[in-house]
Amino acid sequence: MRRPDAYETDSYCAAIVVNSLRRGFCRCPDCEKTGQKGRKAAERTVERRVERETKKKTDEALDKVFEGDKAQNADKERNPADAAGAGNTGATAFGAYGKFDFVPGEKVIVAEDFSQDDLGDFPAKWNTNGSAEINTIAGSTARWLALTSKGAVTPEFITDLPENFTLEFDLAVTTGFSFYNSVLMISMVHLIDANNFTAWSKFGRGRTSGVLVWLHPQDAGSRPLGQSGYELWADGKKTMENKVVGMPAFNSADKHMVKISIWRQKQRIRLYIDETKVWDLPRAFADGIDYNGLVFSRDGAKEGETFYISNLRLAVGAPDTRNKLITEGKFSTTGIYFNSGSAVIRPESYGVLKEIATVLKENPDVKVSIIGRTDSDGSEELNLRLSKERAAAVSAVLASKFGIDDVRMQTDGKGATEPIADNTTPEAKAQNRRVEFIRL
């Protein structure tokens, strides 16, 4: 029998050790007694496999979230330079976001990423009449609240949903989610006491006034299509409802990790799934009602079929880009999002960038200085470089995607200097991660 060469010996030992680690030794010719070399080979093999699988899952997740439709991806393959937007500046190919008009609120008051909670625990600042726990998902570095049972959960720290607010969160669902499983209900409501959130379960009692929107990732049949609906409640009565089916924007096959954006302007509500506007209701919120609670709920939970929530962000105030930049000479926004630790602009930033570009087009003589700023996480040197790169990325997108002459834009970065909040909470850090536009 031929003796394996050096490279083959590693694989040979690894294969044997994987099957014999419980016995604590390897019986191959090179590892006759101690099994040391075999164990090391097994470790190397496992490490290489984990690296390959992790990279594959991460790439697949990022492709689904950031790349857009198939036609756009084909264009990227034909022209890699165009896919990057503008060389190495971090500019993003926005693809289907051309009609995305969502603009986040001016001041971040909630930024929940579950970083303060241990995996497997229910989050400390939430309440529930069911069960949920903090999990991770393959291909994502975030922590997620897994809604694992029938019931409702509520962030007790959200006690006011004012006339102008934006609510954003990432939503994921297990692939293969059954049509017969329950929907996810998202309710923005008036709560009469701390435990009244349970009224906003599917068959809960004691509802007063609220706006309930629901999502489901599977329509009837096997096609990758989802559903959505809404219910409007006032003084304990349902006043309006509707639903849409055959919805490709959220489904359990190829759109199972999405960004939900909700925008209230007085009575009006708009809801987006990624770049798709699903609902735009002009008379959803009732006048004179104190909307003071947010509730997520589901009526049932088949084992292994789970909704996940992450990166909850509530901001208030209606950004007045035009007035602040032209009249006051300065506009600052936390609504231009970047991939973590990089200058790659996320596509959901499109609405804010479009607003800024519109102002600049309407005022062709105006020149601006674009200044990037970060929170205090990381070294000063890293933050300074990152802030400069992010400012340059914004300028590149405004030039390449919106036609703003780059001679009208200067860029700079200030890192974590001059914070507007104390960097001790997720909300404060979100306030400090901003891009400023200063009229020259």
What CATH number is attached to the domain comprising 397?
3.30.1330.60
Of 277, 301, 316, which marks where a domain is finished?
316
Mark whether 351 and 283 lie in a shared domain: no
- What are the E-state strand segments in 36-182? 107-112, 126-128, 132-135, 144-147, 151-155, 164-173
**Overall number of domains in the chain:** 3
Mark whether 432 and 286 lie in a shared domain: no
Tell me the pLDDT tens digit for each residue of 103-133.
Answer: 999 899 999 999 999 999 999 999 999 999 9
Tell me the pLDDT tens digit for each residue of 154-182.
Answer: 999 999 999 999 999 999 999 989 999 99
Mark whether 112 and 207 lie in a shared domain: yes
Cα–Cα distance measured from residue 400 to residue 89, given in angstroms and rounded to the nearest whole number: 11
Residues of the chain with pLDDT > 90, as a percent, come to 69
Mark whether 360 and 246 lie in a shared domain: no
At 93 the pLDDT is 57
Matching residue, tokens 């088949």 = 302
Q: Which domain holds residue 148?
A: 104-316
Mark whether 125 and 246 lie in a shared domain: yes
Mark whether 157 and 274 lie in a shared domain: yes
Cα–Cα distance measured from residue 240 to residue 229, given in angstroms and rounded to the nearest whole number: 11
Query: Which residues of the chain are under the pLDDT cut of 70?
Result: 1-93, 95
Mark whether 304 and 365 lie in a shared domain: no
Mark whether 294 and 328 lie in a shared domain: no
Mark whether 330 and 217 lie in a shared domain: no
Of 263, 285, 316, which marks where a domain is finished?
316
Cα–Cα distance measured from residue 31 to residue 46, given in angstroms and rounded to the nearest whole number: 18
At 306 the pLDDT is 95
Mark whether 158 and 270 lie in a shared domain: yes
Mark whether 397 and 275 lie in a shared domain: no
Q: Are 158 and 190 in contact (CB under 8 A)?
A: no
At 67 the pLDDT is 39
Does 327 fall in a domain?
yes
Mark whether 264 and 115 lie in a shared domain: yes
